[in-house]
Amino acid sequence: MFDQPALRANAHPPSPQRRSLVLGALAATAAAATPRAWAQAGADAPVRLVVPFTPGTGIDLIARQIAQPLSDRLKRPFFVENKAGASGIIGTQEVVRAAPDGTTLLVSVNTLVMNMALYPKQGFNPLTDLVPVSQTSWGQLLLVASAGSKIESLKDLMDRARAKPGSLNYGSPGAGTPHHLAMELLKNRAKISLTHISYRGTAPAVTDLLGGQIDAMFLPIHVALQHVKAGKLKALAISSDTPHPLLPEVPSLGTLKLGDLNVDMWYGVFAPAGTPRAMVDRLNTELRDVLASPAVAKSFETQGMTPAHSSPDAFQKLVTADAKRWADLIKAQGITAE
């Protein structure tokens, strides 16, 4: 068994008051140093925001929402480039191999560290080959059941899974995805058994869930919400510690009192290892202001994401702790990428 509560405690960002003091000092230093550092790559060189997944995903939305504000603030073009494939590995490799000159950045999600234990031969280590710039947001997962199923609540799901181990099934967009590992964590903590059915992407999994071919699934709230509102899916629980404003009546997984079951997804920006700290700090400061923009915040929130800024060091701690958390779960549950 692994000590998840301690890991989550260490992963939380510092208090807003302390963060503000630290960022204030960083901003003053970075503002002066960054122009000289970036000049080496060309004052007007465009900056690629590499998204290692397809257009239309939550990560893609984040990248497109921050690109223009960053362009305006830093007086250089920022553009989004989707490099999907191999659970995000292909696009991430491109950033790892890029020159550390501030012109190539990665916008990613916690799949980045989940892949470490699932694909040990992926050819890079996110903890050492990438530099965290800033977290951008939290994304919530919603545990849902097919409208035609007999599962009426979170407790009902638990009771049925315990009564007939393995009789219920659940879907995911693929082995090792946040959707998959969230359910495996619930299984581990609740000591229940459900059969995993892996799909090639979210769309076919949702189609079968709506059709009643699978019983339950974790989905990003922005994907599930329309179907819940239409009565096609039953919302059983939210991945956060507290209910979500968009679905205040849906309980959190924490109501099970089984320890840390928070499986919210973090999103953030990374740079290649070796990127000058002055660049990282300047980008971090600009992202802080971009994420505080009402327009950006509203866009995130309508997609079920909560804007969240952090210092590079705080983000590094979160990423490192999360890597261990999921590696421990993957080992405990015997999960493979196949």
Note the Cα 170 to chain centre separation in Å: 20
Q: Indicate the DSSP class of residue 14.
A: P
User: What is residue 117's predicted lDDT score, i.e. its pLDDT?
Assistant: 93
Helix axes 277-291, 312-333, angle to 10 degrees: 90
Q: 235, 244 in Cβ contact below 8 A?
A: no
Measuring CA to CA, how many Å separate 57 from each of 60, 83, 88, 226, 326? 5, 12, 12, 16, 22
The string of pLDDT tens digits covering residues 143-171 is 999 999 999 999 999 999 999 999 999 99
Beta bridge partners of 234: 145
User: What is residue 58's predicted lDDT score, i.e. its pLDDT?
Assistant: 86
Task: Label residue 19 by pLDDT band (50, 70, 90).
Answer: very low
267: three-class secondary structure by DSSP: strand
Q: 122, 90 in Cβ contact below 8 A?
A: no
Checking if the pLDDT of 4 tops 50, the result is no
Is 41 or 97 the better-scoring residue by pLDDT? 97
Q: 30, 285 in Cβ contact below 8 A?
A: yes
Could you tell me the pTM of the whole model?
A: 0.84
User: Kind of pairing, strands 305-307 and 169-172?
Assistant: unpaired
Ordered structural domains, the chain, with CATH = 4-139+265-333 (3.40.190.150), 141-256 (3.40.190.10)
The string of pLDDT tens digits covering residues 182-236 is 999 999 999 999 999 999 888 999 999 999 999 999 999 989 999 999 999 999 9
- Longest CA–CA span in the chain (Å) reads 65
User: What is residue 10's predicted lDDT score, i.e. its pLDDT?
Assistant: 37
User: What is residue 44's predicted lDDT score, i.e. its pLDDT?
Assistant: 80
Q: 132, 315 in Cβ contact below 8 A?
A: yes
Mean pLDDT across the stretch 34-52? 73
What is the percent of the chain where pLDDT is above 90? 71
What length does the chain have? Answer: 338
